[in-house]
Chains A and B, each alone.
Chain A
């Protein structure tokens, strides 16, 4: 049995539970001072562990690399591009045919008129699709930024 008081290291280790109490059982049974010291440390450690979590109390500004979203060019798919080129060529040919038909026959004028009509419709369709895609893209970017702004506050 250990007669002298436990060292500060031993008391802390016993309070932390990193030291086996059995080793000092004999001494602790009759030494109120050492027992009190261990209890004091245990009270402090318990209170320390129960401290409420500290928070920043303000929002962190995210790095600029995150907030600055690059607005990419509208992606144009190959079939749409091909269709656009084809429509442009058809329209050009139609205009040329129409100009030529002014001095020749009426039938040619009619056929050229149809071509012009179809080409114009295709062009309108392409334009509408491009505008819709552009709006969708802008809307997604806005939602992304809004989600970030609301999501970063806690």
Chain B
């Protein structure tokens, strides 16, 4: 369904349209919220708030972007404000913690075992994905979100820029750093000669 038609139905208070709206945007909102917020209860409250705010501010939506991008922006800023309020936007501190380093080492070792296996069968692919998922969650919330938006949701730099409010150049730069960090994280135990 076209965005305009969906917005019209939502403004007419059609419950079926709200269900469709949630269904269409669930993936994007979930990626943002799950990557940025660790606490399950807080996630639930935030998701409710995001949809409530989206519905309230819907009459102000001017179709300058896709409806999903607009909602993504609401989701991102809701999570960002939550993290700011809780003073959780300190990725370096988290990554420097000793227990986190131990966790990363375990992940990296397992990834090397998995990656160096020449016969990448279904099980190892699945394991690789699990390792990758764990590694992504070790990144700072913003880096993890950018990775999710670009690689899972396949959004363009421009769309990510609209969602996050960051300039396009900054998005590219952060994504470059995030990818590098992710690779380093997974391959920190690789022998140089193996590369």
Cα distance, A154 to B19, chains bound together (Å): 9
| Chain B facing A: main interface SS | helix
In this complex, what residue of A is CB-closest to B150? Answer: A48
Given contacts A33-B195, A44-B132, A50-B129, contact A65 B55 (CB under 8 A): yes
Interface presence of B151 (CB below 8 A): yes
Contact with B along A53-64 (1 / 0, CB 8 A): 111101011110
A148 within 8 A of B: yes
Q: Is the beta-carbon distance between A56 and B151 smaller than 8 angstroms?
A: no
Verify A151–B176 contact, CB threshold 8 A: no
Separation of A110 and B23 alpha carbons in the complex (Å): 70
Q: Contacts A40-B187, A48-B132, A60-B48: A65 and B182 contacting too (C-beta < 8 A)?
A: no
Residues of B within 8 Å of A152, CB to CB, are 15, 18-19, 22
Q: Is the CB of A43 within 8 A of B15?
A: no
- CA distance in complex: A118, B182 (Å): 88
CA distance A49 to B129 in the complex (A): 10
How far does the Cβ of A46 sit from chain B's closest Cβ, in whole Å? 9
B158 to A: closest C-beta gap in Å: 14
Q: Is the CB–CB distance between B125 and A63 below 8 Å?
A: no
CA distance A29 to B160 in the complex (A): 35
**Contacts A43-B115, A62-B18, A66-B13 hold; do A51 and B183 have CB atoms under 8 A apart?**
no
Whether B19 lies near A151 (C-beta < 8 A) is yes
A58 to B29, CA, bound (A): 13
Contact B151 A60 (CB under 8 A): no
- The answer to whether the Cβ of A37 comes within 8 Å of any Cβ in the partner chain is yes
Which residue of chain B has its CB nearest to the CB of A15? B179
B15 in contact with A56 (CB, 8 Å): no
A54 neighbours in B (Cβ, 8 Å): 27, 30-31, 34
Judged by DSSP, the binding face of A is helix
Also in contact, A12 and B179, with CB within 8 A (given A66-B15, A152-B18): yes
Set of chain B residues within 8 Å of A67, measured between Cβ atoms: 15
A7-21 residues with Cβ-Cβ distance < 8 A to B are: 8-9, 12
Q: A12-B179, A44-B132 are in contact. Are A55 and B23 (CB under 8 A)?
A: no
CA distance A36 to B194 in the complex (A): 8
Flag whether A134 is at the interface (Cβ < 8 A).
no
Within 8 A of A (CB), among B167-193: 176, 179-180, 182-183, 186-187
Q: Which chain B residues (9-27) contact chain A, with CB distance < 8 Å? A: 13-16, 18-19, 22-23, 26-27
C-alpha gap A58/B34 in the complex (Å): 14
Q: Is B15 within 8 A of A147, CB to CB?
A: yes
Question: Which of B13, B115, B133 contacts A51 (CB under 8 A)?
Answer: B133
B180:A56 contact, CB within 8 angstroms: no
Residues on B with C-beta less than 8 A from A37 are 195
Q: How far is the CA of A44 from the CA of B183 in the complex (A)?
A: 8
Residues of B110-142 at the interface with A, using a CB-CB cut-off of 8 Å, are 115, 125, 128-129, 132-133, 136
Contacts of B16 in A (CB 8 A): 147-148, 151
Chain A residues positioned under 8 Å from B132 (CB to CB): 44, 47-48, 51
Can you sample 15 A-B contacts with CB below 8 Å? Answer: A36-B195, A37-B195, A40-B183, A47-B132, A48-B152, A54-B30, A55-B30, A60-B47, A60-B48, A62-B19, A65-B13, A66-B14, A148-B16, A148-B18, A152-B18
